A and B are shown apart, each in its own frame.
Chain A
Amino acid sequence: MTLDDLMQLPQYSVAQADKEAVLLAELTRLGKHHRQRSPEYARLARIMFPGSADPHNLADLPYLPVALFKEHLLSSVPESEVFKILQSSGTTGQTPSRVVLDRETAQLQTLALSRIMCSVLGPNRLPMILVETADLIRDRRQFNARAAGLLGMLNFGRDHFYALDSNLELRLPELKDFLRRFGGAPFLMFGFTFLVWSRFYQPLADAGLDFSHGILIHSGGWKKLQEESVSAADFRAALRQALGLTRVYNFYGMVEQVGSVFLEGDDGYLYPPNFADVIVRDPTTFEELPNGQTGVLEVLSALPRSYPGHCLLTEDLGVVHAVDSPSCGRLGKAFSVLGRIPKAELRGCSDVIAAKVS
């Protein structure tokens, strides 16, 4: 089996051991590729992971803390081949991450995302509701991360309808028109989790509209909802009960690995696509933890060619629940993201590495 097979095979259909064998070869090769093309990465890998040239499993592969992309522009392509530089939104006061894309990596990302989304949407584009304001993408010179996330999803829809106005208020009459036109057959909905909750579900909770043919894909994190004590299960239950929405898929992803998103299954767990994986590490020793134990998530992806982002230690806590135990028909690791790692530990880690690099 090759990487190409992993892309072409139905997503979530590859058993963990088979996937790991292909990914180990592919990511080892990618590591070599980045060491040759990015002196900065070569130096980091050497300092942080001496003796890692011969990895025996995915956990042996050198990984970078995701925060490094805030402090360093890590590139494995000459400047002439840079297609665009992605920038994370970054909360106020934080330096945004910057990720260098060449044409090949950008295309791989688009293709990969479509493989993942088509696994729940099918091959045809569906009429689409965006729980967003059209203003978000009006200024075409400058897209923030929210806009970039939205743009990536537009490909999967047709007859795009922006359900929010400039003030992020619901455009109710137009929404009703959309439902009259398209509500009787499958349609797609996309939005950021908190906006879906506060600007869509809440104003519609008692409206009695029928979204039972809708497929909702949402992302962006649970932090704000956790502050309101709304869990992922509450979210799903509320949408099902008030809107008749039964097909709801959250995904976990980051600007440092665009295209390589972890999409929720019908059981509410997240699953890596064929060409990506997750590892849970102990937050103090960074050893791989057994399933069922909470630790720091490392994300692996075969997509990044133009920047050394194939193995990244995130700032998120997570847990792997099961492997190849398809409670929803998917193979691979079933996992959950449990929120941000407490700040102090992560700063420590990234400071040490930042000091080593500079």
Chain B
Amino acid sequence: MTTSSTEKLKHAFVSALGVSPDGDFDSMAYGQTPGWDSIAHMALISEIETAFDIMLATDDVIGMSSFLKAKEIVTRNGVSFA
């Protein structure tokens, strides 16, 4: 279960942002990681919502500034990574 949530999140990043599946996810950040611009961000949000079957609020969307933040926000929306 643990790996599966992290893997799901990584998969959403790969598919929305076009980053390498072997990349250093923990260092990925909005506006810094190539491919993570404001349009890709919308795709990412939608991938994450579908993958975890959650609805993210506006604050979550504007707060999702890195992979680690994404993990935190998805966790807050009731998904377990532990």
Residues of A within 8 Å of B82, CB to CB, are none
Give residues 105-159 of A contacting B (CB, 8 Å): 106-107, 110-111, 114, 117-118, 121, 123-125, 137, 140, 151-152, 154-156, 158
Nearest neighbor of A160 in chain B, beta-carbon distance: B42
Interface check B39, CB cutoff 8 A: yes
Q: Find out whether the CB atom of A103 lies under 8 angstroms from the CB atom of B31.
A: yes
Whether A49 is near chain B, meaning CB under 8 Å from some CB there, is no
Report the separation of the CA atoms of residues A160 and B59 in the bound assembly, to the nearest whole angstrom.
18
User: Please, which residue of chain A has its CB at the minimum distance from the CB of B31?
Assistant: A83
Bound-state Cα–Cα, A154 to B44, Å = 13
B68 CB within 8 Å of chain A: no
- Does B58 have its Cβ within 8 Å of any Cβ on chain A? yes
Is B57 interfacial (CB-CB < 8 Å)? yes
Contacts of B37 in A (CB 8 A): 140
Given A83-B31, A137-B39, A140-B37, is A125 in contact with B56 using a C-beta cutoff of 8 Å?
Answer: yes
Residues B61 and A124 in contact, CB atoms below 8 Å apart: no
Total interface residues on A, using CB and 8 Å? Answer: 22
Residue of A nearest to B38 (CB): A151
A356 CA to B38 CA, complexed, in Å: 39
The verdict on B1 contacting chain A, using a C-beta distance below 8 Å, is no
**B23-82 interface with A by 8 A CB criterion:** 31, 37-39, 42, 45-46, 49, 55-59, 61-62, 65
Q: Chain B contact residues: over half helix, strand or loop, or mixed? A: helix
Note all chain B residues with C-beta closer than 8 A to A137.
39
For residue A118, which residues in chain B have a CB less than 8 angstroms away from its CB?
A: 58
Contact indicator B31/A155 (Cβ below 8 Å)? no
Taking CB atoms, residues of chain B closer than 8 Å to A155 are: 42, 58, 61-62
Residues of B near A160 (CB, < 8 A) are 42
Q: Is the interface of A mostly helix, strand, loop or mixed?
A: helix
Contact A125 B58 (CB under 8 A): yes
The CA-CA distance from A26 to B35 in the complex, in Å, is: 36
**Least Cβ distance of B66 to chain A in Å?**
12
How far is the CB of B45 from the nearest CB of chain A, in Å?
Answer: 8
The smallest beta-carbon distance between A117 and chain B, in angstroms, is 8
Q: Is the CB of A110 within 8 A of B62?
A: yes
Q: Contact between B42 and A123 (Cβ–Cβ < 8 Å)? A: no
Q: Which residues of A contact B55 (CB under 8 A)?
A: 124-125, 158
B31 and A123 contact, CB distance less than 8 A: no
Chain B residues in 8 Å Cβ range of A103 = 31
Q: Which residues of A contact B39 (CB under 8 A)?
A: 137, 140, 151, 154
A125 with B61: in contact, given A83-B31, A103-B31 (CB under 8 Å)? yes
Query: Chain A interface (Cβ within 8 Å of chain B)?
Result: 83, 103, 106-107, 110-111, 114, 117-118, 121, 123-125, 137, 140, 151-152, 154-156, 158, 160
4 shortest interchain CB distances as A-B pairs: A151-B38, A123-B57, A155-B61, A110-B62
A-B contacts, 26 listed (Cβ < 8 Å): A83-B31, A103-B31, A106-B31, A107-B65, A114-B58, A114-B59, A114-B62, A118-B58, A123-B57, A123-B58, A124-B55, A125-B55, A125-B58, A125-B61, A137-B39, A140-B37, A151-B38, A152-B38, A155-B42, A155-B58, A155-B62, A158-B45, A158-B46, A158-B49, A158-B55, A160-B42
Known: A125-B56, A140-B39, A155-B42. 9 other contacts (CB 8 A): A103-B31, A107-B65, A111-B62, A114-B58, A114-B62, A123-B57, A124-B57, A125-B57, A156-B58
